[in-house]
Amino acid sequence: MDLKLSAEQRALVASFAELLAKHAPPERVRAAEPVGFDPVLWAVLRDVGVVEMAVPEEHGGWGAALLDLVLVAEQVGAAVAPAPRSRTSPWTPMRSSSRAARRRLPPSRPRSTTGWC
């Protein structure tokens, strides 16, 4: 069993590490502490599609694999990036095999104006 990351996964890690190094340096992390997140960083993450990663392609997302999501989350954690995180997601039913659960979803992906998904 080969447990090495693929070239695509290594590129994903490198791109998010670079993005977070640029947009979440320690001084911005500290400055965001009172609010809990940096709206500028959140806008950048939304622009690159981080919210849509876990959403299946047939619903307008990337359809990322769980490992890809974990690799990105690892980079966010390593940078102590002041970005919103959620223990649950409104899109969790999409990962379910239940068609009934998927039918309860909104017809399009969510757009947040508050900075929280």
Question: Where residue 76 falls among pLDDT bands split at 50, 70, 90?
Answer: confident
**Amino acid, res. 106:** P
CA distance 76 to 24: 9
Q: What is the pTM of this model?
A: 0.67
CA distance 117 to 115: 7
Of 89, 86, 50, residue with least CA distance to 71 = 50
CA distance 114 to 43: 11
pLDDT in tens, 20-49: 999 888 888 888 888 878 888 888 888 988
pLDDT at residue 112 above 50? no
